């Protein structure tokens, strides 16, 4: 196993995690090791208490009214599949955007083929933003769902989701938000978003381990979603049909207990730090990065004219190197981790005109990055760009 000196790939998964996350997982694995919701021993009760606390912390973070509206999943993709496959029916129309991750696009393409669902993708501009007006214009009488990202994993664009949510609510269309790139980085309030469903990764900004995700389902919407999986829940075992109660309706099979225990510790850590403080730290680092990048003539960055409309994700292309070459130079000579390629967002890269250069190099800052690390990354870029 190797650790890189400077990790700027937090949009893929955050690293490192807070110390308390490692400690909580280690403690669970060595001292508890029980499955969640199956048993009434002291160890099982202790574990259940942690899982309940994690759910409550997640609900608080999203401003959900009840913790039962939060479902544990295995990643953001799992949450998105639960929404899209669970909700859409034959002949439904969906509005989404070109900015979306393949975790939205691929389920939608599959549903086009298998269920005759029709999909409209609104265009984005050359900084990766879609416009709320275009989403409204794409709606048809048969539109059942609008599914949009909260922020781009390529350009960091924070999308106008609140305006879309308000419109969706007025029109009685359900609204799903992919918050993979904002949960833990920006304040999130499901009521302000007017969201029926919110999909989050537990392992990115929320600082939990890989293999964790969250799905928020607004009260009473659960009955409109068919669960992707059916099976044992540790509850209502006398029934041979899936319980309707939340969250069991969507949580079949054994939980990722080490993951949830780690996520609980991470959410506790984030609570203490405060999302506003996380945002200020990441914003300052992003501004430092963007100012430095703009001073290197061979680099082009997407968006970031107004930092308050962006997360800590910055997509860059070089006139001198392909994206793979630049990321390899940074990693090979300077031990700096970035991410080259299409970032699972092919339509975004097509719109940005970056397919030929094999995509872009993505820098993504996190709460554990420092100003010195950003300066070191800029210095490395200056060196490789000087030839």
Nearer to ligand PLP, 347 or 381 (CB): 347
3-state helix, strand, coil split of the chain in percent (to 5) is 45, 15, 40
What is the 3-class SS of 21-41, one letter each residue? HHHHHHHHHHHHCCCCCCCCC
Question: Least separation, in Å, of the C-beta of 83 and ligand PLP?
Answer: 12
Min. distance of Cβ 183 from ligand PLP in angstroms? 10
Shortest distance in whole angstroms from residue 142 CB to ligand PLP: 26
Smallest gap from Cβ 387 to ligand PLP, in A, equals: 33
Continuous segment of H or E residues that includes residue 6 = strand 6-7
Single out the residue of 302, 363, 309, 312 nearest to residue 157, CA to CA: 309
Distances in whole angstroms, Cα of residue 122 to Cα of each of 96, 110, 199, 243, 348 = 6, 19, 20, 38, 11
Distance CA 134, CA 29 (A): 49
Q: Print burial letters for 336-354: b (CB count within 10 Å at least 16), e (below 16).
A: bbbbbbbbbbbbbbebbeb
3-state DSSP assignment of residue 20: helix
CB of 6 to ligand PLP, least distance (A): 20
Q: Which helix (H) or strand (E) holds 122?
A: strand 118-122
Tokens describing residue 9:
């790939």
The three-class DSSP label of residue 322 is coil
Q: How far is the CB of 69 from ligand PLP (least distance, A)?
A: 20
Tokens representing residue 72 in the block: 């544990």
Q: Which two tokens stand for residue 27?
A: 């403690």
Nearer to ligand PLP, 212 or 329 (CB): 212
What Å distances lie between residue 110 and 66, 102, 103, 225, CA to CA? 33, 11, 11, 17
**Nearest distance in Å: CB 182, ligand PLP:** 9
Q: Does the N-terminal peptide bond of residue 16 adopt cis geometry, omega within 30 degrees of 0?
A: yes
Residue placing its CB nearer to ligand PLP in the complex, 323 or 381: 323
Token duo for residue 325: 């070459």
Select 14 or 194, whichever has its Cβ closest to ligand PLP.
14
Binding site for ligand PLP (CB under 6 A): 75-77, 101, 103, 149, 153, 178, 180-181, 201, 213
CB of 109 to ligand PLP, least distance (A): 15
With respect to ligand PLP, which residue has the nearer C-beta, 75 or 143?
A: 75
Provide φ and ψ at 222, rounded to 5°: -60, -30
Closest contact distance (angstroms) between CB of 149 and ligand PLP is: 5
- Torsion angle, alpha carbons of 233, 239, 241, 242, to 10: -30
Question: Can you read off the two tokens belonging to residue 248?
Answer: 């069991």
Which residue number, 77 or 233, has a Cβ lying nearer to ligand PLP? 77
Cβ nearer to ligand PLP, comparing 119 with 378 = 119
Residue 212: both structure tokens together:
């964790």
Cβ proximity to ligand PLP, 179 vs 326, nearer residue: 179
304 or 329: CB nearest ligand PLP: 304
Minimum Å gap between C-beta 169 and ligand PLP is: 23
Looking at beta carbons only, is 101 or 279 nearer to ligand PLP?
Answer: 101
């Amino acid at each position: 196993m190797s650790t890189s000196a400077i990790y700027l790939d937090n949009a893929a998964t955050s690293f490192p995690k807070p110390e308390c996350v490692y400690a909580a997982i280690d403690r669970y694995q060595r001292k508890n090791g029980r499955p969640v919701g199956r048993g009434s021993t002291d160890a099982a009760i202790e574990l259940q208490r942690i899982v309940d606390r994690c759910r409550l912390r997640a609900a608080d973070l999203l401003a959900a009214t009840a913790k039962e509206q939060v479902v544990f999943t295995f990643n953001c993709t799992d949450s998105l599949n639960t929404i899209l496959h669970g909700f859409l029916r034959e002949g439904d129309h969906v509005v989404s955007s070109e900015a979306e991750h393949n975790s939205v696009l691929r389920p939608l393409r599959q549903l086009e083929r298998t269920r005759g669902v029709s999909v409209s993708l609104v265009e984005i501009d050359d900084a990766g933003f879609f416009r709320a007006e275009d989403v409204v214009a794409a709606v048809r009488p048969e539109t059942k769902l609008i599914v949009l990202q909260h922020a781009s994993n390529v350009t960091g664009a924070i999308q106008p989701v609140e305006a879309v949510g308000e419109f969706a609510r007025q029109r009685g269309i359900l609204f799903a938000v992919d918050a993979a790139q904002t949960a833990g980085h920006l304040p999130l309030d499901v009521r302000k978003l007017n969201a029926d469903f919110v999909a989050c990764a537990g392992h990115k900004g929320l600082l939990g381990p890989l293999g964790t995700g969250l799905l928020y389902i607004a009260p009473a919407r659960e009955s409109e979603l068919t669960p992707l999986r059916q099976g044992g829940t540790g509850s209502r075992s006398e029934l041979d049909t899936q319980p309707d109660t939340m969250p069991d309706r969507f949580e079949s099979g054994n939980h990722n207990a080490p993951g949830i225990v780690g996520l609980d510790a991470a959410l506790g850590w984030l609570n203490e730090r405060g999302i506003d403080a996380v945002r200020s730290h990441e914003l300052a680092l992003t501004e430092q990065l963007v100012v430095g990048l703009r001073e290197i003539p061979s680099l082009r960055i997407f968006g970031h004219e107004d930092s308050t409309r962006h997360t800590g994700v910055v997509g860059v292309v070089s006139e001198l190197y392909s994206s793979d070459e630049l990321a390899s130079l940074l990693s090979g000579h300077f031990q700096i981790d970035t991410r080259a390629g299409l970032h699972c967002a092919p339509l975004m890269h097509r719109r940005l005109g970056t397919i030929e250069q094999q995509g872009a190099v993505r820098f993504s800052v996190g709460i554990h990055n420092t100003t010195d690390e950003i300066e070191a990354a800029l210095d490395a870029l200056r060196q490789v760009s000087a030839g």
